Amino acid sequence: MEKQTTLETYGFQPLFANQPNPDSHDIGRIALEHKHLYRIYAEDGEWLGELSGKSRFAAIRREDYPAVGDWVWMTKLPGERKAVIHRIFERKSKFSRQIAGTTTEEQIVATNVDRVFLIMALNLDFNVRRLERYLLMAYESGAAPEIVLTKKDLCDDVEARLREVEAISLGLPVYTVNSLAEDGVETLAATLRPGETIALLGSSGAGKSTLLNSLYGEQRQKTGGVREGDDRGKHTTTHRELVVLPDGAIIIDTPGMRELQLWEGSDSLGAAFHDVEELAAECRYSDCRHEQEPGCAVRAALEDGTLGRERYASYVKLQKELAYNERKIDAGAARAEKERWKKIHKQLRGNPKR
């Protein structure tokens, strides 16, 4: 007997059910996005959706458009598997980064995620400082981060690298796996729950798609081998996609990120670096810059080795980067508001009687 599909199959939760639907539109979840066309999962199967003209006109910023993981209100067109998207549900969580390059623009990676698996390979691509960036991004999103270290068969000293990760993860769950041999995957799979949404985030070739295949139980996603010369995996996933596992858990696989420019995160810096900020709270002066001030607990910890110098340098670097981004984002918001009023004035000129 075929299992009945419900909205809960795709992760519908009370937060979404409690949001008003005055126009009695149909409900679906964005599973795949391609140039403003969207594959949508609904109770009665898959639909191809696009934004209504009104919604497209009102959209100014990237967050105004649907992203993979979003729940949407839509109207199904009779006689075809197409739908018109009217509105996006209020989001539970949102992963964003700044688009690579010099443009100050948000790129939404995934939305409405319960947990996020931060994937990092244990081979030559291993980088604790990059992992700190991912942790900051995860804390800012509102989802619960967990760390998955892959390709442990390619690492000569797994325990040493595990200690490095535990030193900066500060109590978060950390798993080590070899997805190809399904070594350690069963421990990870035992934590999955039906209707729960998990995003896989990591750099290109970290093993996200191989892990997804292992959790799914078959070759769901294309995977690549290891490049010669630098021991890095080949980038294979080219788009974000929502996948329902046979056990009912929902995975959002994402393309790898060679460059991770933070979008926001100042409010979550303390969560990712609470060891540093707890030390700073013990300084004699509340405005201590941790340089030459007497009674500086941070400098004392650096000198006695309690706080690693590389970790503190990473904290300072991210702090400066976030401050710089905040200034750019404020300027970008002002430009977006100006663009919004230009649209309104253009519409009024086209409809003088309104």
For residues 131 and 238, membership in a common domain is answered with: yes
Mean per-residue pLDDT, 333-354:
54
Mean per-residue pLDDT, 190-212:
91
For residues 111 and 258, membership in a common domain is answered with: yes
Note whether residue 93 is domain-resident: no
Selection from 162, 64, 121, 129 nearest residue 256 by Cα: 121
Mean per-residue pLDDT, 328-343:
53
Note whether residue 240 is domain-resident: yes
pLDDT at 36 over 70: yes
CATH, residue 43: 2.40.50.140
Note whether residue 128 is domain-resident: yes
For residues 129 and 68, membership in a common domain is answered with: no
Note whether residue 232 is domain-resident: yes
pLDDT at 210 over 80: yes
Mean per-residue pLDDT, 32-52:
93
For residues 250 and 326, membership in a common domain is answered with: no
* Residue numbering of the annotated binding site for GTP: 150-153, 202-210
Burial-class residue 342 by CB neighbours within 10 Å (0-12, 13-18, 19+): exposed
Q: Would you list the DSSP string of 156-179?
A: S-HHHHHHHHHHHHTT--EEE-BG
354: pLDDT confidence band, cut at 50, 70 and 90? very low
Strand partners, 276: none
pTM over 0.85: no
Note whether residue 98 is domain-resident: no
* Residue numbering of the annotated binding site for Zn(2+): 283, 288, 290, 296
Mean per-residue pLDDT, 199-227:
76
- Which range marks the domain in which residue 315 is found? 266-347
For residues 272 and 237, membership in a common domain is answered with: no
Q: Percent of the chain at pLDDT above 90?
A: 49
pLDDT at 225 over 80: no
* Residue numbering of the annotated binding site: 150-153, 202-210, 283, 288, 290, 296
Window from 187-196, 313-322, 326-335 with minimum mean pLDDT = 326-335
pLDDT at 150 over 50: yes
Supply the mean pLDDT for the chain: 83
pLDDT at 222 over 60: no
Domain closes at, from 34, 64, 88: 88
What three-state secondary structure class fits 115? strand
For 51-69, what is each residue's pLDDT tens digit?
Answer: 999 888 888 888 899 999 9
Going by DSSP bridges, is the β-strand pair 45-51/37-42 parallel, antiparallel, or unpaired? antiparallel
